[in-house]
Amino acid sequence: MPLKKMKLAVLVSGNGSNLQAIIDSIERNELHIDLSIVISNVENALALKRAKKHGIKSVFIDPAIYPNKKEFDQIMAGKLKEMSIDLICLAGYMQILGKDFIKSFSGRIINIHPSLLPAFPGLNAQKQAIEYGVKFSGCSVHFVDEGVDSGPIILQTAVPVYDNDEEMSLSRRILEQEHHLYPKAIKLITENKLNQNGRTVTLKKS
Ligand code: GRF
């Protein structure tokens, strides 16, 4: 009998190209997960349109309705629990999640960040990389903890930074790799192939 699929929620705020990569992997049958809901805190996010186009339940939660982020998080957490979501992927979700939200889904939230963490956490990671003068940057998928982009790293891909790179060109090169890396990391989780020892995440030996 096939194992029950994990239930995935993707949180977005913008373009949603990583969401698209996840959807495509599912539709190509490479990733076996039930993408149960896409939630956005931005009403006109292209990501929501992408989800709708593929018949995925998509919800806009309006931050303006709630007096603070804590209450916003509570509403979102309630929805995710009600749906028995197993895994939450942040894909360009531009709002910091509160401690309570993170605690209640501990070890079940992952994020993709456009740098080789721990270098250049936070906003404008690609710009930070160029200004610092690094010769390689890349992307990281990591578990979310209470810090900013500071949780245990699951997978990373490096890309070169060229002398004539600008923020846009480097972002494009990194994004291309993100679209491979995120579905790959999710697949490892769905197949229960990761070991974690403190901060260190490794592949289980088969
Ligand atoms: C990506 O660069 C991701 O690493 C960062 O936000 C961007 C989202 O892009 N967290 P998209 O919305 O998936 O196209």
Ligand 1 atom 14 nearest Cα = 17
Q: Which is nearest to 142 in space by CA: 81, 188, 95?
A: 188
Query: Which ligand 1 atom sits closest to the C-alpha of 12?
Result: 12
At 90 the three-state DSSP class reads strand
C-beta neighbour count of 71 within 10 angstroms: 13
| Predicted pLDDT of residue 145 | 97
The reply to whether ligand 1 has any atom less than 6 angstroms from the CB of 14 is: yes
Alpha-carbon distances, residue 13 vs 38, 41, 60, 62, 92 (angstroms) = 10, 6, 10, 11, 6
Residue 119 pLDDT more than 70? yes
Atom of ligand 1 nearest to the CA of 17: 14
Residue 138 Cβ inside 6 Å of ligand 1? The answer reads no
Which of 65, 91, 110 is closest to 175 using CA atoms? 91
Let me know: does 8 contact 170? Beta carbons within 8 Å. no
Percent of the chain whose pLDDT exceeds 70: 99
What is the pTM assigned to this prediction?
Answer: 0.97
Structure tokens at 76: 């979102």
Question: Mind giving me the DSSP string for 169-199?
Answer: HHHHHHHHHHHHHHHHHHHHHHTT-EEEETT
Q: What phi and psi values does residue 33 have, to the nearest 5 degrees?
A: -150, 150
- The reply to whether ligand 1 has any atom less than 6 angstroms from the CB of 18 is yes
Model confidence at 2: pLDDT above 80: no
For residue 176, report the distance from its CA to the centre of ligand 1, in Å: 11
Dist. CA 96–CA 44, nearest whole Å? 19
For residue 178, the ligand 1 atom closest to its alpha carbon is 4
d(Cα 38, Cα 59) in Å, to the nearest integer?
A: 6
Q: Could you report the per-residue pLDDT of 43-93, keeping only the tens digit for each?
A: 999 999 999 999 999 999 999 999 999 999 999 999 999 999 999 999 999
- Reported as a single tens digit per residue, the pLDDT across 129-153 is 999 999 999 999 999 999 999 999 9
Q: Which amino acid is at 5?
A: K
What pLDDT, on the 0 to 100 scale, is given for residue 206?
A: 75
- The answer, yes or no, to whether residue 1 has pLDDT greater than 70, is no
Sequence letter at residue 119: A
Is 156 near ligand 1, meaning CB less than 6 Å away?
A: no
Mean pLDDT, all residues of the chain: 97
CA of 88 to the centre of ligand 1 (A): 15
Q: Whose CA is nearest to atom 1 of ligand 1?
A: 92
Catalytic status, residue 113:
yes
pLDDT digits (tens, 9 = 90+) for 4-45: 899 999 999 999 999 999 999 999 999 999 999 999 999 999
